[in-house]
């Protein structure tokens, strides 16, 4: 997500109303099973040098022990057939930070948790003896990067996008390059893009509809996510227009704020929330919000990220693994909204 604020980033901003994340600290031993060696035919092009926001990193040989510091980086690594030995916990903690869409790729392995959404245990990272650290969906500062790079070659977030703003395609391809599996990454991206294209083809009218993704609602003030946010990118990839004219110039720290006096700006064709029960209760009891036609007409989707099957979490991750899963969960709800018109 395109967070520009200093750390720690608050989960309430990121996930529409959740509490702040707990800090993971302390030392830990290595994971029980290291990643399986990569087949030689999948690791052509090594050594490879990757340029990122904090410099460039050369990876000399196919990595065997990968640690993912980026909040959703484990998905791309798993999709590429590599099982990370360390991962980052973001929210609604699952064992090893492996959500349902990634369990098959994980094959029963449970990585060590080494970070909690920006709060990195450098001791845990070092104890795992990684030969590659990925921090793609992250916002590392120079001090954090230097500490990680002293442990192992580290690839930080892209310089081409805001922090937390890189598209899933970019992160998948970067992971593929770092793992020596660039062609496999290209094939994965092409496969998911084909699924998205099929959805767009089946719903051409979505291209004529504006979708906003809500972030927070309290005290008569509302926030919607930036067009660079992965959740918004998900709906844009389905064909929706996600940048109404009023949004330009209003985004700060990944969100645009709408006051109670401006609440009709939220009255678009579709509105979505990746919500938890607390946020849903706030919205249901908000008389201003409930005056919106989009709400009265039932053209709002509430995608819970706290309870299985985690549709909101799949949208929030918006990765090469979570997108096909999210399509199965979300498209029927969007079609339900279509039926309301």
User: How many of the other CB atoms lie within 10 Å of CB of 19?
Assistant: 12
Least confident piece of the model among 21-25, 144-148, 226-230, 290-294: 21-25
User: How many of the other CB atoms lie within 10 Å of CB of 208?
Assistant: 10
| pLDDT tens-place string over residues 233-276 | 999 999 999 999 999 889 888 899 999 999 999 999 999 999 88
Please name every residue paired with 260 in a beta bridge, in sequence order, or none if there are none: none
Residue 253: predicted pLDDT: 85
Q: Are 26 and 119 in contact (CB under 8 A)?
A: no
| Lookup: tokens for 5 | 């604020």
| pLDDT tens-place string over residues 55-104 | 999 999 999 999 999 999 999 999 999 999 999 998 877 999 999 999 99
| pLDDT tens-place string over residues 9-25 | 334 344 433 333 332 33
Map tokens 């590392």 to a residue. 140
| Overall average pLDDT of the 186-205 stretch | 98
For the chain, list the domains and their CATH numbers. 11-181 (3.40.50.1980), 197-339 (3.40.50.1980)
d(CA 276, CA 81): 32
Query: Which three-class secondary structure state does DSSP give residue 199?
Result: helix
Q: What pTM, to 2 d.p., does this model score?
A: 0.86
d(CA 121, CA 132): 16
CA-nearest of 297, 304, 239, 234 to 266 is 297
C-alpha dist (Å) from residue 271 to 82, 202, 299, 300: 37, 20, 7, 5
Helix, strand, coil shares of the chain as percentages rounded to 5? Answer: 40, 20, 45
Residue 43: predicted pLDDT: 52
> How is residue 153 annotated by DSSP?
-
Ranges of H-type helices in 115-206:
122-127, 142-149, 168-178, 182-202
Strands 270-275 and 300-304: parallel
């Amino acid at each position: 997500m395109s967070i520009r604020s200093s750390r720690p980033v608050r989960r309430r901003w990121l996930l529409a109303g959740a509490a702040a994340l707990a800090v993971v600290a302390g030392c830990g031993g290595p994971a029980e099973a290291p990643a399986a060696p990569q087949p030689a035919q999948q690791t052509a092009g090594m050594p490879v040098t990757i340029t990122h926001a904090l410099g460039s990193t050369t990876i000399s040989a196919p990595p065997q022990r990968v640690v993912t510091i980026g909040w959703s980086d484990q998905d791309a690594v798993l999709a590429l057939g590599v099982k990370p030995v360390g991962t980052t916990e973001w929210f609604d903690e699952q064992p090893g930070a492996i959500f349902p869409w990634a369990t098959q790729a994980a094959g029963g392995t449970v990585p060590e948790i080494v970070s909690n959404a920006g709060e990195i245990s450098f001791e845990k990272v070092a104890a795992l003896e990684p030969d590659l650290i990925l921090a793609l969906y992250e916002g590392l500062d120079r001090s954090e990067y230097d500490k990680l790079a002293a442990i192992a070659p580290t690839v930080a977030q892209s310089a081409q996008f805001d922090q937390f703003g890189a598209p899933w395609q970019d992160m998948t391809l970067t992971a593929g390059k770092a793992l020596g599996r660039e062609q496999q990454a290209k094939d994965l991206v092409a496969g998911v893009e084909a699924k998205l294209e099929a959805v767009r083809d089946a719903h051409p009218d979505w291209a004529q509809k504006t979708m906003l993704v809500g972030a927070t609602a309290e005290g008569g003030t509302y926030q919607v996510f930036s067009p660079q946010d992965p959740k918004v990118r998900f709906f844009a990839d389905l064909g929706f227009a996600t940048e109404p004219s009023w949004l330009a110039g209003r985004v700060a720290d990944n969100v645009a704020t709408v006051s109670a006096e401006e609440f009709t700006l939220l009255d678009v064709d579709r509105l979505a929330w990746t919500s938890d029960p607390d946020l849903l209760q706030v919205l249901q009891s908000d008389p201003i919000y409930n005056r919106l036609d989009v709400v009265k007409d039932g053209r709002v989707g509430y995608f819970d990220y706290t309870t299985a099957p985690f549709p909101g979490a799949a949208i929030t991750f918006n990765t090469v693994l979570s997108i096909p899963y999210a399509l199965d969960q979300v498209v029927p709800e969007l079609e339900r909204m279509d039926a309301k018109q």
